[in-house]
Amino acid sequence: MKITIITVCYNSECTIEKTILSIINQNYRDLEYIIVDGGSTDGTIDIIRKYEDHIHKWVSEPDQGIYHAMNKGINMSSGEVIAFLNSDDWYMEDTLEYVCHKFENKKVMILSGEGYLWENEICAGMSKDCENDESDIRFRMIYFHPSTFARRKVFEEIGGFDMKYLIAADYAWMLKAYDSGIIPVHTSKCLSNFKFGGASTVDAFKTALECKKISLEALNKLFIEGKIPENEYESWLSVIVEYHKINKVEKYRKLLWDSVLKSTELRRDVYHYIRGKYFKDKRIGIFGTGVVGSKVFLLYKYFGSEIVCFFDNNEKQIGKGKENLPVFSSKDIRNDFIVIIATSKFEAEIEDQLIQMGFKEEENYLVFSRIIKQIEEDLVAFYD
């Protein structure tokens, strides 16, 4: 059984060699390997030429995006089974041998496995798509694309990737297969390694919006064509809307903390709005020297607040320095700056303590857990 692997790339000189080697070093021999390059201007082409004897077909020319390149690869292919491995991902040593064995079952049309997740050369864990219900594809991508293989017949039946979607056309394709009655077979075996930083992970927020659009369009199509009754349509509609509402909060929370911890930038108008509403030019004292206190310090520093000191009820912490600032006892709190309660475990206890000292919320102190919730809601409103 011939298996075609397609790698699409553009200016991938730092990563593509590992991808290529993971394919050409497979034990499985009935392999067709195709590379579709978008006209790289770095050393990518030199690396491709280095392994040209092991690459069955390759092309380097401008394209209209990643899914146009993938469709081009499909048209160049001749394998019975087709898969895509991007230029910063790589297979496990026995992946293709295992895949061939699974496709010996003629009923298997799409096979999807798990994968290891990598960030900054460190394995951050593995995907857990096997825990999903297959119907969850209705509102989100539940298959690990670098570990997904499909028979050529599926592409012939439902077509290639819809290029009107710029980031999540692979999700649209899987959902289209599902709605056509083609249910992927899942395996818990890790088949690939995925490196964070691709189109869908770099701009997770646009990805979420596009996935929501795909979900709703597919659902509307089923209803209009009379394939699902009205009550089922309304039920799925509420699930899709609620899921993406929750999901957006999680994604925008990540956006905020990526901006703070990794020195990336929020959109300028968003930054100034958030800063003006929650981080006015007041002197700040942070109550809590643990993990939450450290995050609050970085957040307020990012938004330009003047942080004066830390406070703590733990006598072992008092007198020590944190973030090059002094740590005082709660007895030293004055009313000439705002105290931020930055602890999860003792939040209620500390708030009661401040109230008993005569301090008032918003006037003298703020509770970080409440502030961050409001900020996240504002981020959703801005970006949605």
Within a domain: 247: no
Within a domain: 239: no
What stretches in the chain show pLDDT beneath 50? 200-202
Q: Is there a single domain that holds both residue 310 and residue 167?
A: no
Rounded CA separation 325/339 (Å): 15
CATH code of the domain covering residue 340: 3.40.50.720
Q: How many domains in the chain?
A: 2
Quote the pLDDT of residue 340. Answer: 94
DSSP helix/strand/coil, 158? helix
Within a domain: 91: yes
Quote the pLDDT of residue 30. Answer: 96
Within a domain: 245: no
pLDDT in tens, 114-168: 999 887 677 877 887 766 788 899 998 999 999 999 999 999 999 999 999 999 9
Within a domain: 228: no
Rounded CA separation 7/77 (Å): 12
Q: Is there a single domain that holds both residue 95 and residue 11?
A: yes
CATH code of the domain covering residue 150: 3.90.550.10
Within a domain: 374: yes
Quote the pLDDT of residue 181. Answer: 95
Under a CB-based contact definition with an 8 Å cutoff, are residues 183 and 135 in contact?
Answer: no
Quote the pLDDT of residue 378. Answer: 83
Q: Token digits for 364?
A: 């003298």
Quote the pLDDT of residue 277. Answer: 84
Q: Is there a single domain that holds both residue 161 and residue 272?
A: no
Instruction: Read off φ and ψ for residue 125, nearest 5 degrees.
Output: 130, -160
pLDDT in tens, 12-41: 999 999 999 999 999 999 999 999 999 999
Q: Is there a single domain that holds both residue 39 and residue 159?
A: yes
Within a domain: 216: no
Q: Is there a single domain that holds both residue 177 and residue 305?
A: no
**pTM (predicted TM-score):** 0.68
| Owner of token pair 């690869």 | 73
Under a CB-based contact definition with an 8 Å cutoff, are residues 51 and 7 in contact?
Answer: no
Q: Token digits for 71?
A: 């469709």
Q: Is there a single domain that holds both residue 162 and residue 21?
A: yes
Q: What is the domain extent for residue 302?
A: 268-383
Which residue, 203, 233, 254, sits at the end of a domain? Answer: 203
How many other CB atoms are there within 10 angstroms of residue 89's CB atom? 23
Nearest Cα to 98, choosing from 117, 89, 111?
111
- Pairing assessment for the beta strands 325-328 and 321-322 based on DSSP bridges: antiparallel
* DSSP assignment letter at 361: B
How many other CB atoms are there within 10 angstroms of residue 257's CB atom? 15
